Structure 1
Amino acid sequence: MWLNGTSDLIEKLKKLGVHKVALQFPEGLKRQAAPVATDLKDAGFKVIISGDPCYGACDLALDTLAYGDADALVHFGHAPVDERENVIFEPWTVDFDIPILEKALPLLKEKTVGLVTTVQHAPLIPAMETYLFSHGHECRVADGTGRTPLRGQVIGCSFAAAKSTGAGEILFVGTGLFHPIGIALVTKARVIALDPLTGTAQEVSADALLRRRFAIMEKARGAQHIGIIVSTKSGQQRRALAERLAALSPGAVIVTMREVNPDELLNLGFDCYVNTACPRLAYDDQVRFKKPVLSPQEFEILCGVRTWDDYTIDEIT
């Protein structure tokens, strides 16, 4: 459910003196756009909705502000990854019954456990701590910082909250396996993943991902023409990194893109690509790409400036 509600947002906008409002929703929440827009229009605001794909707080519809369509952009569902003028972030929480944590208890071997989750469940961190403490586990939870401003929060491009716990065993509460696999690679800790919506708990291994990534790297070995992808999205632009990577190979050329999709990469015709945009593109979407898409660290390994023993998952810091 939406954490604050339309009435609170209306009051916030009025206090800021906003008259024209742009709304942006991630893919899973887009069906909320019409009713929220109606409420704001009824309150006297001029409203537009960004209909473009949105994959996170790093993908803001800033064009709605640049062209004067709106005085403020309201972004739903995520916490900010950086400071942006005239952008309002409205969290969206997904509640669950705290006793579902019992599913993870048999898998926890250590008394001290690092605890992390995603933005949707971050408000439940205190209740999770209390529950685990009552069952014999002391929790380490990192304070919010940088791209993950909420306490105990991790995102797909930053696992700082997991590293900061310093724990040898970490409990991730959330859906999917990408986050816990990334945590395992970054921290080298034992990671237990609990899906609070299905009640499924499991120990996570990064071995399968590493085997897949090694195969992709071997496929890219010897590539003559290499496209270094630079995102033009608000929170994904890593031009300095791209320029450093391009300098590692005479066949590397920087390619700027907003949406990184299989058709465009195929049309460009490079032998392989190095992704400095959203890190998850290389890991999650490789099956969709006809050519290898490497992470910066993988490209460094192929270029001989990093060893395989120093392999780690890509993060934006």
Structure 2
Amino acid sequence: MSDAFSSSSENVIQRVVDVTVKTGTPVGELEELYQIRKTCDFINEHQFEKVALQFPDELLADSVAVAAEIERNSNAKPFILGDTSYGSCCVDEVAAEHVGANCIVHYGSACLSPSKRLPLMYVFERRALDLEKCTAAFRDLHPDTQSHVVILYDVNYVHAINDLQTLLLPDYPNVIISELVVEGEHCYSHGRTKGQHDDTSLSERDDGQVVYQFGRRFSLKGGLSIADYRMFYVGQEGATLRNFMMTWNCCSFCSFDPIKMTARTESVSINRALMKRYYAIERAKDANVVGILVGTLGVADYLSIIQQLKETIRGAGKKSYVFAMGKLNVPKLANFLEIDIFVLIACPENSLLDSSEFYKPVVTPFEMEVACNKKREWSEEYVTDFRHLLPGGQSHVPLADRQEDDDETDMSLITGALRSQNLLSSEPEVSSFGSSVVLRNQALTVANTNSAASFLSERSWRGLEEKLGETPVVKAVEGRRGIAIAYEEEGTSP
């Protein structure tokens, strides 16, 4: 047997494993790819002293070199933010505040969700786009030169969109190019700043001709609605495209992948996807205990939607618990078997989580409102931006009056059983057999709250018990030395 695999050898612990690391970008190309000069101008103009540089995992190889260039050409001290608490497309303001940063520079792909705590600058990747092949693909997919088409794109291809527009507009007069608009005060992107003085509504303006969503803005022709347009997307298949297709589900979509150099008409059935989401809504209606997952700490108004969800869930006679656990995975959520369904509060691109691998479904705030608010009906409208659900938003629907729904019953489309909608909304009553408070529904029967506490009481193992005052106090003693498989005092096996 080799000594490297011996149970008593320390070589196993000290052995070095070769790992392939992505090669960093040459110093001469950093300026073009990361817009270092513009970044330093932004820092020096506002006299920032501490700057947080947020990199996604795929760009961390260049982070040290970029930070060194920024420190050399500005008066600020840069801090590198690597492992973000949630999705890398969102601005990690919490991590930036931990180091006392005055502003954030966000690199790579971005969902453009508004952030209002710190000044912000976006620096997108300048990914290559073959304009000739992209133009040819557009012409093949839209043979009618009078077609009304809106061109959407991943933020990393914005540098090439003006050239694409120059090639298409002479032959396609009805093509609309969307522009990126960063919302918030002291935000900078692509040489365009946007402050509160020119802020617009999240929905269409008063004339009904300007659409502004997800950091994109485009103007429609007079007399036409969004349903009269086709969408052409430049970028890879992923969360951004899926978000657009679900939101504007009345439009047909085509896409061009600059990496694979392929174009196609998106054949994924939106109706089928919406029906899957509707199934999740039915599961939410059947649920008694709801877990509210905090999937962002940077998107504006996330605390407001948490409070609104708690009130909505309470009004539907359900229990709710709030969880903040960072990036989600199956083992994390599997620890809470008492939760019947989870609702994820995140940016629009990360809200549409595929929960097929999870033990319990994960729905969006919009879907939970459809399940709990009687006044909100399931229709063609699908909302991925939770800010639209808040008071003043374009899709806000006030909660139904409890008195209006006291006598209403509902049948589950999954189990076929009748659902009671007001188990927890009734006032608590005092039992005639004692002073304990119980909840009663309209039928004067004790309501089954199915809370997490009752679930825990039924478990055979409830975790470590504190046993306060029962454990004797002893002095600290010296522990064992070595590794668990072979402590020093145990000796070696023959």
Same fold (TM over 0.5): yes
Q: Residues of 2 paired with 1:180 and 1:36: CA distance? A: 30
What are the equivalent positions in structure 2 for 1:31-46 lying under 5 Å apart? 31-42=61-72, 46=77
Question: Which residue does the alignment assign to 1:81?
Answer: 114
Taking the aligned partners of 1:49 and 1:138, their CA distance within structure 2 comes to 44
The yes-or-no answer on 1:182 pairing with 2:243 is yes
Which of 16, 39, 43 is the aligned partner of 1:9? 39
Give the match for residue 255 of structure 2.
Answer: 193
- Specify whether residues 241 and 111 from structure 1 end up closer, same or farther in structure 2 by C-alpha distance, changes over 3 A only: same
Alignment of 1:270-281 (within 5 A): 270-281=339-350
CA distance in 1, matches of 2:58, 2:169: 33
Taking structure 1 as reference, are residues 27 and 55 closer, same or farther at Cα in structure 2, changes over 3 Å only? farther
Q: Does the alignment pair 1:226 with 2:290?
A: yes
Please state which structure has a larger fraction of its residues in helix: 1
CA positional deviation for 1:146: 5.6
Equivalent position of 1:59 in the other structure: 91
Report SS of the residue matched to 2:291: strand
The residue that corresponds to 2:167 in the other structure is 131
Structure 2 distance, partners of 1:283, 1:202, is: 23
Closer, same or farther: CA 45–230 of 1 in aligned 2, 3 Å: closer
CA gap 1:243/1:163 in 2 versus in 1, 3 angstroms: farther
**TM, length-normalised to structure 1:** 0.81
> Kindly tell me: are residues 162 and 286 of structure 1, through their superposed partners in 2, closer, same or farther at Cα, counting changes over 3 Å?
farther
Residue 196 of structure 2 corresponds to none
* SS at 1:88 equivalent: strand
Compute the TM-score of the two structures, normalised by the length of structure 2: 0.55
* C-alpha separation in 2, matches of 1:163 and 1:186: 15
Question: What value does the CA root-mean-square deviation take over the aligned residues?
Answer: 3.3
CA distance in 2 between partners of 1:63 and 1:159 (Å)? 23
Report SS of the residue matched to 2:58.
helix
Tell whether 2:140 aligns with 1:106. yes
- The unaligned stretches of length 5 or more in structure 1 are 152-156
State yes or no: 1:115 paired with 2:151.
yes
Which amino acid is the alignment partner of residue 273 of structure 1?
A: F
Q: Return 106-115 or 52-61, whichever deviates more.
A: 52-61
Q: 1:80 to 1:211 in 2, by over 3 A?
A: closer
The verdict on how the C-alpha distance between 1:15 and 1:282 changes in structure 2, with shifts beyond 3 A counting, is closer
Q: Secondary structure at the match of 1:314?
A: coil
Residue 302, structure 1, aligned to residue 371, structure 2: yes
1:194-209 pair list within 5 angstroms: 194-204=256-266, 205-209=269-273
Change in 2 beyond 3 A, CA 1:89/1:168: closer
Distance of aligned partners of 1:170 and 1:177 in 2 relative to their CA distance in 1, 3 Å threshold? same
**Structure 1 stretch displaced more, 89-98 or 15-24:** 15-24
Query: In the alignment, what sits opposite 1:287?
Result: 356
Task: Give the corresponding residue for 2:231.
Answer: 170
Pair 1:34–1:147, CA change in 2 (3 A): same
Shift of 1:229: 2.7
Kindly state the Cα deviation for residue 33 of structure 1 after the two structures are TM-superposed: 1.0
Count of aligned pairs: 311
* Change in CA separation of 1:38 and 1:200 when aligned onto 2, cut-off 3 Å: same
Give the number of the structure with larger relative contact order, counting CA–CA contacts within 8 Å between residues 6 or more apart. Answer: 1
Secondary structure of the 1:284 match is: coil
In the alignment, the residues of structure 2 paired with residue 16 and residue 72 of structure 1 have an alpha-carbon distance, to the nearest angstrom, of 10
Q: What does the per-residue CA deviation read over 1:49-73, in whole Å, with 9 as the maximum and x for residues that have no partner?
A: 12222634633244333543x4443
Contact conserved, 1:27 with 1:55, CA < 8 A, in 2? no
Structure 2 distance, partners of 1:256, 1:236, is 18
| AA partner of residue 168 (structure 1) | Y
Aligned residue for 2:286, secondary structure, equals coil
Kept in 1: contact 2:113–2:214 (CA 8 A)? no
| 1:251 matches 2:306 | no
Query: The residue matched to 2:156 in structure 1 has which SS?
Result: coil
The offset of 1:175, in angstroms, is 1.1
Following superposition, the deviation at residue 273 of structure 1 comes to 0.9
Partner of 1:264: 332
Alignment of 1:147-166 (within 5 A): 147=183, 158-159=213-214, 161=216, 165=220, 166=226
CA-to-partner distance for each residue in 1:239-292, whole Å, 9 max, x for gaps?
A: 323333333332242514261413333223311011222344442342343211
Q: Distance in 2 between matches of 1:240 and 1:18?
A: 30
Find the aligned partners of 2:307 and 2:382 in 1 and give their Cα distance. 20
Which of 295, 302, 306 is the matching residue for 1:242?
Answer: 306
Distance 1:159 1:239, change over 3 A: same
**1:57·1:81 contact (CA, 8 Å) conserved in 2?**
no
Residue matched to 1:29: 59
State the shift of 1:34 in Å.
2.0
Aligned-partner Cα distance in 2 for 1:244–1:20: 35
CA–CA distance in 2 between the matches of 1:12 and 1:20? 13
1:216 aligns to 2:216 (yes or no): no
Give the Cα–Cα distance (whole angstroms) in 2 for the partners of residues 158 and 30 of structure 1: 30
Is the 1:232–1:258 contact (alpha carbons within 8 Å) kept by the matching residues of 2? no
Secondary structure of the structure 2 residue equivalent to 1:309: coil
Contact 1:133/1:139 (<8 A) preserved: yes
Output the amino acid matched with 1:96.
L
**Secondary structure of 1:64 counterpart:** helix
Q: Residues 72-105 of structure 1, C-alpha deviation per residue, up to 9 Å, x if partnerless?
A: 4322234673444343333332131211221232
Percent sequence identity over aligned pairs:
22
Q: Is the Cα–Cα contact under 8 Å of residues 82 and 146 in structure 1 kept in the other structure?
A: no
